[in-house]
Amino acid sequence: MPKMRDHQAVDAAYARTGPNATVVRQSIPRSADKMWAALQTAEGWTPIDIVASWTSDEPHGIGSTRRATGKAGLTIDEHVLIWREGRSMGWRFDRSTLPVAAFCEEFELNPTGNDFCEMVWYFALETPGPLNAATGKVFAAGFKLNAQKALARMAVWAEENLPETRVEP
């Protein structure tokens, strides 16, 4: 089992401005409201290969906490820093089994019409040690590739699991 490690506490801006800041975009064939509701559930995160469970009481928002778990012992304790109801949510990693010194991400949902939205995933990270500049870029590039695949799976999942709300004329 990988060892949990503490991470640097960063602020909400870090996801967009921190070292190795990266953006991934994906069209989702469902409305932003429908995707927001799905992201409040553990099932909504299954296309990203994690199980996310709230560890703080409702209502959820800034200051809430959750634990994400995944393959090979992946465990992440998250602290919510961004919460714009129906629009975006983001968190920093307080502790995890990942080899990072700091990590923050934000998921933003932008309505694009016709019951579609664009999901935008912002993240930034630092790796520990004197080679952070090099290892951080490599880790961010690998994470971006996985994020692109995960959001593509999210689009398929949404189409298959979330009912349409379109009204035909």
Report the CATH number of the 5-161 domain.
Answer: 3.30.530.20
> Where exactly are the structural domains of the chain?
5-161
Residue 65 token pair:
């906490």
User: Is the distance from CB of 23 to CB of 147 less than 8 angstroms?
Assistant: no
Which CA distances in Å does 39 have to 44, 56, 98, 165?
A: 5, 16, 22, 17
pLDDT in 10s for each residue of the chain, 169 residues: 689 999 999 999 999 999 999 999 988 888 888 888 888 776 767 667 788 889 999 999 999 999 999 888 999 999 999 999 999 999 999 999 998 999 999 999 999 987 889 999 999 999 888 777 778 888 888 888 887 888 788 777 777 877 765 444 4
Token pair 């949404």: residue: 158
